[in-house]
């Protein structure tokens, strides 16, 4: 009988692919299956946020994504009588190597991640559907149905549902998915547009709603997204329909042509009641769905995966306690809730038929829009939120501050900023990284030996001197997902030792 898998990854969308990449890094025994025969060919999610680019850098795929994508740095807001240009991502972006929103079709993102896995001998088992999941003692018995209809049974310690909004894993685990559907229908198309200035995001705002054009490149130069006006009945999406709607939103003088994909859809805002139930975990759209406002969906899913993968890997190899897995939901569920709330507000403000909001869009925005470029503080907040650089796990049980908190610099639970420049690249290798600042003589090998004993293969030590994110003599232990797990000021190592004994016990758990 074949030994059980450590992890079965269900779904090979962006979330499942990112999870597989991380599990592969740690040598976990896993399989990744997807019921569809081919990867996504449509553009779907098209914005990759700075934090996602940072998080994927450790796999060596970020440069390729950036090379293939389009970095739009301006929003052109087309109002009734004038057009206002608002710089994007020019504030609050000094601590990341990727200070831009990257536009790239989801099909391309999945292709790059898929090729990364293929180069590491990970087979994505397409045409394989999970049709049954049953707990049996400490294991899950999984029934897989292949493309020829034949069934196979495998056992796994953990099953991760990266299987999208209609998740089978979520249903089998009995986890609720509460929320609501928005009343409006949205139209979406990848196409060519004559008359649009290239290299910018274009937005047309009226009392009736909003129309966007995003620079895409492949599979078509532009992505159009618009709300279907309430007096336009549901019907097949055609080019003349889109042209007419664009004109109603004030986009006159544009010619839409050569569509490669046109669709309409209704949006939902829903969240899983739990991110974990026993051996079942949920990540990505299986755990949260919301409007595309702010390009958060795929990004949040990839970051769910990269929060979970290393935890599963370390627990499966006996290097971390099972308790570490509880921190997944504790850290990611609040992020999912915040994203749902933020995208809901942005979407309602942009599209609600409420008379007050219609009036604000039609009458106030034209006056306020030119002032936006001077509103430094709100723009900084929006950038930190949308870019996902502001996500932190300060309240997580796995985030600990020692007896003395550094006066400045990242706190326990924060992502490590790329300050000084190049620091993130220095700590990009898999595993934990111990950052020691101040004079090197404070950190001789003998002092570190008790901290590293039995776990030296998991922790890489960096004596940073004064090239450090903290101004003081400090110790920071960086988790494999780039967040600070433990930090303290001073050279006393007792707190650090207690932290590693709790989360990385040297004796196998
Ligand atoms: C039309 C459309 C437009 C979108 N536009 C945007 C956008 O502009 N911006 C944005 O941020 N997001 C957008 N999204 C959402 C974005 O595509 C998702 O957030 C993202 O794909 C989520 O990734 P995921 O891997 O979690 O799930 P998915 O991409 O849904 O992948 C789930 C995978 O699981 C597989 N699967 C399901 N059930 C099983 C099973 N039982 N067994 C095996 N495999 C299974 C499916 O075949 C699928 O490949 C759009 C989505 C759609 C459909």
| pLDDT computed for residue 458 by the predictor | 96
Ligand 1 near 301 CB (within 6 A): yes
Tokens of 50: 């700075």
Least confident of 379-383, 447-451, 478-482: 379-383
Q: What is the tens place of the pLDDT at every residue in 108-148?
A: 999 999 999 999 999 999 999 999 999 999 999 999 999 99
Q: What is the tens place of the pLDDT at every residue in 380-404?
A: 887 888 889 999 999 999 999 999 9
Residues 243-252: contacts with CB under 8 Å, at least 24 apart: 245/187, 245/211, 246/204, 246/211, 248/206, 248/208, 249/204, 249/205, 249/206, 249/208, 249/209, 249/210, 249/211, 250/78, 250/80, 250/204, 250/206, 250/211, 251/78, 251/202, 251/204, 251/211, 251/213
- Comparing 218 with 443, the larger pLDDT belongs to 443
What letters, b where the CB count within 10 A reaches 16 and e where it falls short, cover 381-403? ebbbbbbbbbbbbeebebbbbbe
Torsion sign across C-alpha atoms 190, 193, 198, 202: negative
Fold of 5-72+99-178+269-343: FAD/NAD(P)-binding domain (3.50.50)
User: Are the CB atoms for 389 and 296 separated by under 8 Å?
Assistant: no
Neighbours of 67 (CB within 10 A): 9
Q: What does DSSP say about strands 484-489 and 474-478: parallel, antiparallel, or unpaired?
A: antiparallel
SS3 state of residue 7: strand
Give the span between the Cα atoms of 84 and 370, in whole angstroms. 6
Neighbours of 206 (CB within 10 A): 18
Cα–Cα–Cα angle for 27, 458, 335, rounded to 5 degrees: 80
**Residue 360's pLDDT band (boundaries 50, 70, 90)?**
low
Q: What is the tens place of the pLDDT at every residue in 234-291?
A: 888 999 999 999 999 888 899 999 999 999 988 899 999 999 999 999 999 999 999 8
Mean pLDDT of the chain: 92
| pLDDT computed for residue 205 by the predictor | 79
Tokens of 460: 């890489």
Q: What does DSSP say about strands 432-437 and 280-282: parallel, antiparallel, or unpaired?
A: unpaired
| pLDDT computed for residue 359 by the predictor | 64
Please state, for a pLDDT cut of 70, what percent of the chain lies above it: 93
Q: What is the tens place of the pLDDT at every residue in 22-77?
A: 999 999 999 999 999 988 887 889 999 999 999 999 999 999 999 999 886 788 98
**Residue 322 confidence (pLDDT) above 60:** yes
| pLDDT computed for residue 234 by the predictor | 81
| pLDDT computed for residue 328 by the predictor | 98
Q: State the distance from the centre of ligand 1 to the C-alpha of 11, rounded, in angstroms.
A: 9
Ligand 1 near 418 CB (within 6 A): no
Tokens of 422: 């190049």
Q: State the distance from the centre of ligand 1 to the C-alpha of 296, rounded, in angstroms.
A: 13
Give the span between the Cα atoms of 396 and 325, in whole angstroms. 12
SS3 state of residue 341: helix
Q: Which residues pair with 120 in a beta bridge?
A: none
CATH 3.40.30.120 fits 400-503, yes or no: yes
Angle between helical axes of 50-57 and 297-316 (0-180°, round to 10): 30
Q: Choose which residue among 164, 187, 268 to substitute to test ligand 1 binding: the one with the highest number of ligand atoms within 8 A of its C-beta.
A: 164
Q: How far is CA 371 from CA 196, 364, 375, 379, 381, in A?
A: 24, 12, 7, 11, 16
Identify which of 321, 279, 315, 330 has the alpha carbon closest to the alpha carbon of residue 134: 279
Q: Choose which residue among 109, 163, 270 to substitute to test ligand 1 binding: the one with the highest number of ligand atoms within 8 A of its C-beta.
A: 163
Q: Is the peptide bond before 219 cis (omega within 30 degrees of 0)?
A: yes
**Residue 232's pLDDT band (boundaries 50, 70, 90)?**
confident
| pLDDT computed for residue 361 by the predictor | 59
Closest atom, ligand 1, to C-alpha of 11: 34
Tokens of 41: 């060919």
3-state helix, strand, coil in the chain (%, to 5): 30, 30, 40
Residue spans per domain, the chain:
5-72+99-178+269-343, 400-503
Give the span between the Cα atoms of 147 and 145, in whole angstroms. 7
Give the span between the Cα atoms of 355 and 332, in whole angstroms. 36
User: Are the CB atoms for 399 and 499 separated by under 8 Å?
Assistant: no
Q: State the distance from the centre of ligand 1 to the C-alpha of 58, rounded, in angstroms.
A: 23
Ligand 1 near 35 CB (within 6 A): yes
Closest atom, ligand 1, to C-alpha of 106: 17
Identify which of 106, 98, 109 has the alpha carbon closest to the alpha carbon of residue 383: 98
């Amino acid at each position: 009988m074949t030994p059980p898998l450590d992890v079965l990854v269900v779904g090979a969308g962006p979330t499942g692919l990112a999870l597989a990449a991380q599990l592969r890094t740690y040598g976990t025994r896993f399989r990744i299956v997807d019921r569809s025969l081919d990867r996504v060919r449509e553009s779907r999610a098209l914005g990759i946020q700075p934090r996602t680019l940072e998080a994927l850098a450790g796999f060596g795929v970020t440069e390729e994504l950036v090379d293939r994508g389009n970095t739009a740095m301006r929003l052109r807001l087309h109002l009734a009588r004038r057009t206002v240009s608002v710089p994007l991502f020019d504030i609050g972006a000094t601590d990341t190597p990727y200070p831009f929103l990257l536009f790239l079709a989801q099909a391309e993102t999945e292709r790059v991640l898929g090729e990364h896995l293929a180069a590491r001998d990970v087979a994505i088992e397409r045409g394989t559907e999970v049709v049954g999941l049953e707990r049996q003692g400490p294991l899950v018995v999984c029934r897989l149905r292949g493309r020829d209809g034949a069934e196979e049974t495998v056992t796994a310690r953990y099953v991760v549902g990266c299987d999208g909004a209609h998740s089978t894993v979520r249903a089998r685990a009995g986890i609720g998915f509460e929320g609501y559907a928005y009343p409006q229908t949205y139209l979406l198309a990848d196409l060519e547009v004559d008359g649009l200035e290239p290299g910018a995001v274009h937005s047309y705002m009226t009392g009736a709603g909003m129309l966007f054009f995003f620079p895409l490149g492949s599979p078509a130069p532009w992505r159009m997204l618009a709300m279907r006006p309430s007096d336009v009945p549901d019907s097949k999406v055609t080019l003349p329909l889109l042209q007419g709607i664009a004109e109603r939103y004030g986009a006159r003088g544009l010619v839409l042509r050569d569509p490669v994909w046109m669709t309409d859809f209704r949006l939902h805002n829903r969240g899983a009641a739990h991110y974990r139930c026993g051996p079942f975990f949920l990540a990505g759209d299986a755990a949260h769905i919301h409007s595309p406002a702010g390009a958060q969906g795929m990004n949040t899913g990839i970051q769910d995966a990269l929060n979970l993968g290393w935890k599963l890997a370390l627990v499966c190899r006996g290097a971390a306690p099972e308790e570490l897995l509880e921190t997944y939901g504790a850290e990611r569920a609040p992020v999912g809730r915040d994203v749902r709330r933020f995208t809901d507000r942005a979407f309602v403000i942009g599209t609600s038929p409420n008379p007050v909001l219609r009036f604000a869009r039609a009458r106030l925005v034209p006056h306020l829009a030119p002032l936006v470029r001077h509103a430094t503080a709100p723009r900084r907040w929006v950038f930190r939120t949308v870019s996902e650089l502001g996500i932190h796990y300060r309240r997580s049980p796995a985030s600990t501050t020692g007896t003395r908190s550094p006066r400045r610099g990242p706190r326990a639970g924060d992502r490590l900023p790329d300050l000084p420049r190049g620091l993130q690249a220095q700590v990009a290798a898999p595993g934990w990284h111990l950052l020691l600042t101040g004079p090197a003589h404070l950190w001789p090998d003998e002092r570190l030996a008790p901290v590293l004993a039995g776990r030296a293969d998991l922790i890489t030590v960096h004596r940073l001197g004064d090239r450090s994110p903290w101004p003081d003599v400090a110790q920071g232990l960086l988790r494999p997902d780039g967040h600070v797990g433990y930090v303290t000021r001073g050279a006393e190592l007792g707190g650090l030792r207690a932290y590693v004994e709790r989360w990385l016990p040297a004796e196998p758990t």
